[in-house]
């Protein structure tokens, strides 16, 4: 594990050990339950909604169908897995992967509370997924890929585990331009979803290099207001990113 990933894990271990009182995630994201349509999350317990640390609603972007197998990269407290589980139904299956044991503990407790037997959480890195090749219909991810130092490895792994024709629906932080090397060393800002983010053109190129087609970055929302003022920073956005693995 790289030093930055150790810092990220320590940050989310701490987040997972806070009582579920609300969102304190990403300084770059308008994070928390307000990301979702009220009707979607109305009956979720506060233990779930209070540990929502994303920057969008990838479940709605994904347009899930009953019976599909869904993988969530960096599942945290599990909110997107639980929303996806309702949409794929009991004939479907939802797998959340996260590297932080304290998050997995919270996610498993939430799953048991909700009685969702078709959701499972696996400990692992999104750069080296504990998932069989060609086994997943849909991959989703919410404010996580910006945290990975080796994004090429993440996209290569996502491509490997998708079935041919499978799709990916991501909410993530991207930039217009690059952070300086000096700012990239600010692991505190990296952990809170800021300085690990990369230029959107580079993001698309990395996905295409992994084999994805129809890569689109849409609905960019300026995250400047939610960000700490740091000199020399590029423009930062939360965005939705979609793509396909060719048949």
Both tokens assigned to 89: 């139904």
Q: Considering only residues 98, 137, 157, 172, which one is a binding residue for ligand SAM as defined by CB under 6 A?
A: 98
| Residue 95: strand, helix, or coil | strand
Supply φ then ψ for residue 135, to 5 degrees: -115, 0
Residues in region 20-59 near ligand SAM by CB under 6 A: 25-26, 52-54
Report how far residue 174's alpha carbon sits from residue 176's, in angstroms, rounded to the nearest whole number: 7
Nearer Cβ to ligand SAM (15/69): 15
Nearer Cβ to ligand SAM (77/92): 77
The H or E element that residue 221 is part of is: strand 213-222
Q: Supply the DSSP symbol for 203.
A: H
Give yes or no for residue 8 binding ligand SAM (CB under 6 A): yes
Give yes or no for residue 148 binding ligand SAM (CB under 6 A): yes
Supply φ then ψ for residue 56, to 5 degrees: 175, -165
Least distance between ligand SAM and beta carbon 80 (Å)? 6
Q: Considering only residues 79, 85, 206, 215, which one is a binding residue for ligand SAM as defined by CB under 6 A?
A: 79
- Binding track over 123-142 against ligand SAM, x by CB under 6 A: --xxx--------------x
Give yes or no for residue 76 binding ligand SAM (CB under 6 A): yes
Report how far residue 227's alpha carbon sits from residue 92's, in angstroms, rounded to the nearest whole number: 38
């Amino acid at each position: 594990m790289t030093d930055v990933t150790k810092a990220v894990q320590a940050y989310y271990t701490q987040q997972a050990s806070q009582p579920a009182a609300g969102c304190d995630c990403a300084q770059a994201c308008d994070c928390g339950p307000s990301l979702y349509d009220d009707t979607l999350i109305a009956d979720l317990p506060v233990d779930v909604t209070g540990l929502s640390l994303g920057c969008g609603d990838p479940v709605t972007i994904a347009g899930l169908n009953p019976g599909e197998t869904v993988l969530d990269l960096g599942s945290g407290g599990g909110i997107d897995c639980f929303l996806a589980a309702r949409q794929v139904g009991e004939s479907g299956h939802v797998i959340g992967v996260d590297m932080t044991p304290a998050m997995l503990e919270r996610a498993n407790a939430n799953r048991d509370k909700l009685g969702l037997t078709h959701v499972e959480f696996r400990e692992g890195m999104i750069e080296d997924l504990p998932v069989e090749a060609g086994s997943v219909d849909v991959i989703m991810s919410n404010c996580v890929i910006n945290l990975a130092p080796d994004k090429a490895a993440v996209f290569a792994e996502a491509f490997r585990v998708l079935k041919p024709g499978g799709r990916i629906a991501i909410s993530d932080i991207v930039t217009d331009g690059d952070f300086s090397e000096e700012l990239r060393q600010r692991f505190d800002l990296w952990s809170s979803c800021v300085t690990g983010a990369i230029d959107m053109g580079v993001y698309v190129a990395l996905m295409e290099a992994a084999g994805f087609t129809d890569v689109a970055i849409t609905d960019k929302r300026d995250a400047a207001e939610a960000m700490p003022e740091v000199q020399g920073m590029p423009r930062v956005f939360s965005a939705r990113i979609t793509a396909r693995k060719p048949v």
